[in-house]
Structure formats: structure tokens, C-alpha cells
Structure 1
Amino acid sequence: MDRNALLAGGAVGVLIVAAVSAVLVPGVLADPTDDGPVRPGPVDVADVSIAAGPATGETVTLGIETRIDHRRNPTQNVSVLVRAIDAESGLVTTTERVDVGTLTRDGEATATANLTVPREGGYDIEVVLYRDAERVDEARKSIRGVSAIKPPYLQSTTSFTESESLPPVSFSIADAGENRTTLDLTATLVNTGDQPAEDLSVTFVLRQAESNIVASRTTVDAGTIQAGRTESVDATATVPNEYNYYIDVVLLRDGVVIDSARGAANLNPTRTISVNETTEEVELRVEDFEDDRERTPEASDYEPTRTESSAPGFGAVVALVALCATAFVARRWSQ
């Protein structure tokens, strides 16, 4: 047989065997460009931001946005664990895990978690980044004063003024009687919003400074305050003389307290108080704060009387008999 023909037939046979093997056993022929398994690209936490979400009287929802930086090869099974930790106790308040999935493009990806926490105190927000259940990075941020996040029914653009030249509450003497003084009270409100404020009312409460006894309480309708306007609300109160009072004003909308302020009225010329402190104790006569409408002449105007009574006994006759008996016994004893 011709040698060349034999070599050609052998080569054809090898090619046929290789082709059949490649079909029956995939991967038997290695790709010369294959470098083995592809390593996942690096991922880390680029930034964490916190936003205030819906709030109720007891809780607030915090929106935690985590930005994840990814480079090079695709990375599978990426997830983020977010925890809210009470800043005072160190206890975990709530936890949420967010599945990010597979990251294929270079750049940043975003994972958002919503954590509902009590509307009080502060929290440390801990973010942990996982790849295939392996912790690869973490970050931490803090938030304080969560109670300042108000629910919708407490949110208002209207409040008492805070200027020294236009204080939130002021008073003047309307009538000074022998025992009582009538005060004209004024509360000043400002609407800093873009819409009119409606259904407002102001409650004036006068408390005797040292005892905290409520001497007067009255509520006045504040009406509607237009956007950007400053309006005053007036009321009167009659209180006992020679005492100092705190004037508390409370702004309400549909029965909900949305703001408050305090002033002071010094009706005792020898002692003064400020909004934040008192100076010394004074003698307090509780009857000065009794409601005159409840006092009647029968209960308050009367003459003191004296009553005489004797305890049960035997009277003067028995006492005389006892004296004679004692004398008789003494005489017999002396004999």
C-alpha cells in the first residue's frame, strides 16, 4: 500500500474520532483561551443615606438607601442586610434584608430598605454587604431626634412667634380690683406656609407660679390665618392679686396640639418670675383661688359659737356624800 495513502487514511481516522468524541463528550476538547472559572468582580459599600418616610404618632419609617460599587467581572448573589440599633440600649430594633441579585456592569447599584422604628430617641443604622453569603463590606450611620419627625396631623405651617419684639404671648392690665385683677391676653401667630391655615384655636392657661394652681383657663377661636400673615388672638382672664403667674398658650387644630409657648405675669411687686425659673417660695392662700360662683353666704359668712358640754358623772350631791364618807372613815381610823 502506498505510504502516503496510509498516512492520509490515519489522519482522517483521527479527525473522525475527535469529531465523534466532541459530540458525545462535550468539553473533551479544551478551549485554549479558557483560563478556568471566572472570579467575581469586587463589590463594596460606596455610600449610605437616610430619609424620613411616613410617620404616625408612635412610629416612623426610615428609608435606607445603600449605594454599592461594582467593578470588572459579573458578581452573583449580592445582598444587603440593614439593621436599626437603639442608640441608648444598643438593642436591635428592626432588621431587613434586600436581595440585589447579579451585578454585571461597572459602576454603582442601589439597594433600598424601609425600617419602621419607634418615633423616639435615636438609632445607629448598620449596613452589611454580602456576596454568596460572605460578608465583604459594611458601613454605619447614625440618626438622632427621631421624635422631631411629625405625623401628618401634627404638621403645620402655623406656630407662635419667637421674636423678642413680638413675643408669642403678652398681657396688659384691664382692671385692677381690691382682690382680683383682670388681664387682657394676646397670643401672636404666624403662618409661614403657602396655604391658609384653618380650624385653629388657642387655649390660655394661667398657673400660679409656685404652686402650679390653674387660676384661669379659656379657649378662643383663632379663625383662618392667610399664608405669610401674622395674626393675634385676644382673651381675658381674672386672677387673684399679689401672685405671679405663668401664661401658657396652646395652639390646637381640630383638637390636636400643634404648638405651645409660655409667658409670665408678675402681679406681686416684691417677687418676680421669668419663663424658665422662679425665685423663692411665697405664702399661698388657697382660698384666693376658689371659684366665687361656688361660694355661698351660708358657707362663708357665719358667727363662731361656743358650746359647753359635761362628761357623764354623778353630780354635786354624790360628790357631797363622798366627802362626808371620807371624813367618817378618817375619824374611825384616828380612833
Structure 2
Amino acid sequence: MVNNGRIYCTAIFLLALAIFASGCIKNFEEESNIIITDTELSADKVTSSFVDINVTTYILHTSGVQKNDTSLELKVFDSNTDFLKSRKVIDIGHIKEGEKSSVSQSIRLPREGTYRVEFMLSDGNKTKSTAEIYLSGLERLKTDVQEIGIGIDSMDFLVRKVVGNNVVIETDVYLTNSGSLATEDYKMLVKAREMDARLIADKVWTTTGLIGPEETVVRSVNLTVPDNYNYVVEVLIWKDNVLVKRGEDYVQLNPQKVIDKNKTVESKDIVTSDFIVETPTMPGEMPAYNETPYEGTQTPGFGSGLAIISLIAAFFIFRRRSV
């Protein structure tokens, strides 16, 4: 009986120990509870066509054991079409129990439209918390002063006229509107600066005009500069009294080249009049009148026929006086 009692007590003790141990193991292996507590959105950059939004997500590890690194997935959907506009996943790493963490992401969205932003917080392959917010009214945000949506792509230069020692250069400026809305009409200053002395040879004010979405236009001005110098042609675009865009290109009417191994530099003689380009005409239009450039070294004189008549008249007058 004693042995049976001991065996019975031992069995009960082992059973109780097993139950207690299993409870400890269960508590020890309790899964983590990680939640999204808050989200913040702010506009980092506002242009005429898009907005860069900074999204900050706050995360709290309330309890449990985190077995894997935490990751946050952010998806942006068009509210009208449910099309996915953007998707980003960022690893947060390990968060201690009871601690808070935050993570920031940047998304770029068109100004027009409404959007649904979804957040999904995961511990390994298990989703721990989700959140959702809606965005609208981005088109009402004020555009940053320096952002007008216009890019200066390139410039072309044509010689229109040579007058004495001056050259008339037509400057074509290529402007592109990269936005989804038409631009405003901005002031534009085009000027030619001599490379060495940095003196301004000529400058002309004009405007960009209204440029449609994703369109490229050409704005042309004539600059009159002294021949045989090299120039930097600068384009400055102004919004009210603020300079918002700058570009430049080069016109070398006195280029140079290296002619030997000792780096001897020789100026290349450019006959500017050889590059005069006539204004092209559209089909059905009359060709433009082509003016003959006035050469400063030439002296205006009579034509050959008029000169002969003048000599004959002078001869008769001389004979009459002699008689």
C-alpha cells in the first residue's frame, strides 16, 4: 500500500509539474503584440504637378516576444480607380517590449486626385497591425516659390545679320512644362555675357507664355553682340521678383584650338557672315526680305552707270567754258 501511495503521489507531482512547465513555456513563447499607434503626414515639396509627402508612422511593442524583424508596408491607391499608385516596404528591425519606434517614408503623388493610404505592420510573415487614411485637396496646396514646373532644355543660335563689327544672333530657348497643368506666364531675361571680361553685351526681356501640360515650346529673341568674342548666353526666369530658374549655353565667335604637343593655343578665324540663316517660310508664304548686311569697311558710292553719265556731263561743261 505504501508503495502504491508513493507511486500515486509521484504521478500527481509529475503531472502538476508538467502542467506548470507547459504554462511557463506557453507564457515564454507568447507572440509579440506590435501595433500602429499614430501616423503623421506633411508636404516636403509642392510643385505645379506633384507633391512630395513625408509619412511618419509610430509603432508600439506592447507585449510578447518578437521572433522576427518588423517591417512596414505602405500602399497608395487612387480612390476613384483603386489603381495602385505607390508601394514601399521598409525594415524597422527589433523593437523591445514596451518601447516605441517611428519610421518615415516619402511618397510622390500628383496634385490632382484623391488617394487611400494603407499601412501594414508585420512580424515576419504575420500581420500585426493595419491602418488606413485618405488624402484629398492636394491641388489647394501652395506651390513652392522655386518650383514652377518649367525646365530649360537647350538653346540654339542662328546668325541673322552682320552689321559692321556687330552680329545679330537669334537665340532659341527650348522650354518644357513637365507638369500636368498649364504654366503661368513668367518673365524671362536673356543676356549675352563676354566670357573673359564678364561684361554684358546685350540683354532682352521677354515672357515664357502659357505652356500646356507636358509641352515643349521655343521662345526666340535677338541679341546684338560685338563680333570675334566668346559669350555665355544666360536665361533667367522670374516669378514676380524672385529668380526661380536659370540656364546657360555658349556662343564662341572666337574659338581656340590646341595645335601642337606643347599646348600652343591658336585662335580660329570665324567668318560670321558665312553663317547667316534666312528666315524659313511656311508653304504658301512669301519669302522674307533679305537685307544686305552693311559692312563697316565699305564706303557707299554711286553705281557704274550713274558714274559714266556724270563724267560725260562734266566733259561737256568743261568744253563750253573753254569756248
When normalised by structure 2's length, the TM-score is 0.41
Between Structure 1 and Structure 2, whose CA radius of gyration is higher? 1
Bigger RCO of structures 1 and 2 (CA < 8 A, at least 6 apart): 2
When normalised by structure 1's length, the TM-score is 0.40
